[in-house]
Chain A
Amino acid sequence: MDQGRKKIAPTRGDIGLIVGCLLAALICCGLWLGLRRDGAAVVVEQDGKETARYALDENRTVRIKGQGGYNLLVIEGGEAWLLEADCPNLLCVKTGKIRYAGQSIVCLPHKVAVRIVGGASALDAVTGP
């Protein structure tokens, strides 16, 4: 009927394009795995401002008081994670453990962000302060 009808079956171009995109994802993944560096410190930001900083190699548990609730930060064995929180979606808890410079955990409802800094991150070169 119209030109939309003819070009429906997946073409060779489609397959090439999709394979290309997946390859690009794979390459980026490889770059990330190759360039990432262990972090040195855990920075806690509330409402965009740094409120605390802890060394990543000292085990501790901190209760962060955010806006309208709390997040329980655990630092252990060079990894940091939010063990529990009373925010509605618990995305921050589901984010899991982080250890590499540049990784972060964000709890939007409480305006709390926890990020890993330091180490000689290759990504620092890309970053403006």
Chain B
Amino acid sequence: MKTRKLTTLGLSVALALILSYVESLLPPLMAVPGVKVGLPNVVILFLLYRCGWKEAGCVSLIRLVLSAALFTGFVAFFYGLAGAVLSLLGSALLKKSGRFSPLGVSAAGGVLHNLGQIALAALILDSGYVFAYLPVLLLSGTVAGALVGLLAGILIRRTDVR
């Protein structure tokens, strides 16, 4: 691995982690678990475009482990993982199709992230009731994903980091 890439990925982990921390400081937007902007995903999306899905996945995983250990805890790790895996998979495929800009790729990622989490919640809690949250989580996933996509789009356009 080139030193340049190593540095980029290392800085990305640090940036994504501090963004998790910043987000954990914000008051919850709504009394529904899972409604948040997902600031660290700006970094992940940026990496997906600038490096590739493997790099984005690695940074995402390391970020999840660290933020679970530092801020959110064991259970949150699995929820985060379920969301992150589904979201990255979908985003990478959509990006590859070439028909979407970061805006659309990220909006889909946000929705998939929430779907992954709600599916895991249904499994863990052994209850279909969690799907009552589906409308609000679909909506918040779309909006949050689009916001993240806009931010990442600006970064991708205006920086030379690779």
Contacts and interface: CB of A to CB of B under 8 A. Distances in A.
Residue in B99, B103, B129 whose Cβ sees the most chain A Cβ within 10 Å? B129
A32 B104 contact: no
A5 B156 contact: yes
Residue in A4, A92, A95, A104 whose Cβ sees the most chain B Cβ within 10 Å? A4
B31 A127 contact: no
A93 to B, nearest CB: 9
A59 to B, nearest CB: 24
Main secondary structure of the interface of B (DSSP, over half): helix
Nearest to B49: A4
A11 B134 contact: no
Given A13-B104, A14-B107, A126-B131, A22 B99 contact: no
B141 A4 contact: no
Q: Size band of the A side of the interface?
A: 35 or more
Interface string A25-46: 1101100100010000000000
Main secondary structure of the interface of A (DSSP, over half): helix
Interface in A72-129: 89, 91-92, 94-96, 102-104, 123, 126-128
A24 interface: yes
Q: Size band of the B side of the interface?
A: 35 or more
Interface string B24-52: 00001001000000000000000001100
Contacts of A126: 128, 131
A13 B104 CA distance: 7
Given A7-B101, A14-B100, A22-B142, 19 more contacts: A7-B98, A7-B102, A8-B102, A8-B156, A10-B104, A11-B99, A12-B99, A13-B104, A14-B101, A17-B107, A18-B107, A18-B146, A21-B142, A25-B138, A25-B139, A32-B135, A36-B132, A123-B132, A127-B127
